[in-house]
Amino acid sequence: MILKVENLNKSFGGILASRNLDLQVEEHEVHAIVGPNGGGKTTLMAQLSGLSKPDSGKILFKDRNITPLSTHKRVHIGLASSFQITSIIQSMTMLDNILLAVQSLQGHSYKFWAPVSGDAGMRETALNVLENVGLGRQADTVAGKSSHGEQRQLEIAMALALEPDLLLLDEPTSGMSKEESGEMVRLLKKMKGEKTILLIEHDLDAVFALADTTSVLVDGRILATGTAEQIRSNPKVQQAYLGEETA
C-alpha cells in the first residue's frame, strides 16, 4: 500500500467537504475517484497534494505521516500532482517547462551563474520526458501558443518529469474534445503497471478504460471501492451517482 488516508475531515464555512474519509491506494495500480460535482473530489486532491491542510485525520505515504508536510516537500518524497486548471508556465517553451521539473529533481537551485541552456544532460532528460508524452517535436514551441490538448499533455508531463512514485492527476481530460481525450487515455494507458496513479475523472468511459480500482466519492466520503464491474453493479452507487447519469 503506497497511500493510506485515515479519517480525513475538512470543512469550508460549515460545509463538510471531507467527512471521515478513508482511502487506500495500492502500489502500481491506477485508482480512479469518481463522484458527483460538489462531492469533495477537488478538496481531497488539494489535501493530498498539500495545497490545503485537513482539519483532522492523517495521510500516510509510503508508511510515513505526511499530513504536516508542505507541497514542495511532498514532491521530494515521491508525490507529484497535476492540476485541473492547466498550470504550465505559458511564456516558456515546452522544453523550458519540463526543464524546471528536471531542475527541481536535481537538488537545490541556488545556482546563480551557470546558464541552464548549457546543461546538455538536463536537456536530454527533459527531451526524453517530452518524447514519452508525444510532445517531442514541439519542444521549442512556446507553451501558451500550443493547443489545449497539448497544454494538458504538458501539464501531465511536468508532473511525470518529477519521477514520482505516486502521480495525482486532477481531471486529466478536463475541457478536451473526444479525440484529445482518447489520446490522453492512450498516453495514460502506456504508464499502466509502471506508475501508481490516483486520478479524479469526470469522463466515465475514460475511467472504466483505465482504472484498476475505482472509488466513488459522495458527500465527502467514499461510498464504494472496487473494480469497474463491482462499481457498475453496486446498487448504492447506482442510486447516488450513476443513476442520475442513466436517467
Partner 1 sequence: MFKFLENLPARVYLAVTALLAVAPLLVTLGSQPFYLDLLTRILILAIAAVSLNLIIGFGGMISLGHAAFIGIGAYCVGIPAHYDIFNGFIHLGLAISCSAAFALITGAISLRTHGLYFIMITLAFAQMLYFTFVSLDEYGADDGLIIYQRSDFNGLLNLENPTTLYYTVLVTLLGLLYLMHRLVHARFGRVIIGCKHNEKRMQALGFDTYRYKLTCYVISGTICGIAGFFLGNFTNFISPEMMDWTHSGELIFMIVIGGTAGIFGPVVGTAFFLLLEEMLSGLTQYWQLIFGLVLILLVVFGKGGVHGLLVWADTRQTAQAQPENDS
* Interacting residues of 76 by C-beta distance below 8 A, sequence separation 6+: none
Per-residue binder mask for partner 1 (CB under 8 A), 126-165, x = binder: --------------------------------xx--x---
Residue span binding partner 1 (CB under 8 A) among the ranges 55-63, 111-119, 146-154, 221-229: 111-119
Compute the distance between CA of residue 35 and CA of residue 14 in angstroms, rounded to an integer: 21
User: What does the buried/exposed string (b/e) look like for 156-189 if buried means 16 or more CB atoms within 10 Å of the residue's CB?
Assistant: bbbbbbbebbbbbbbbbbbebeeebbebbbebbe
Hey, how many other C-beta atoms are within 10 angstroms of the C-beta on 7? 13
Residues 8-67 that bind partner 1 (CB under 8 A): 49, 51
> Is residue 110 close enough to count as binding partner 1 by CB under 8 A?
yes
User: Which member of 87, 128, 230, 239 binds partner 1 (CB under 8 A)?
Assistant: 87
User: Which member of 2, 10, 54, 83 binds partner 1 (CB under 8 A)?
Assistant: 83
User: Which member of 13, 14, 63, 113 binds partner 1 (CB under 8 A)?
Assistant: 113
Compute the distance between CA of residue 114 and CA of residue 226 in angstroms, rounded to an integer: 51
> Is residue 170 close enough to count as binding partner 1 by CB under 8 A?
no
User: Which member of 53, 58, 111, 190 binds partner 1 (CB under 8 A)?
Assistant: 111
Entry field: residues in the chain: 247
Asked if 167 and 160 count as a contact pair (C-beta separation under 8 A), the reply is yes
Interface residue list for partner 1 (CB under 8 A): 49, 51, 70-72, 75-76, 80-83, 87-92, 96, 99-101, 103-105, 109-117, 158-159, 162
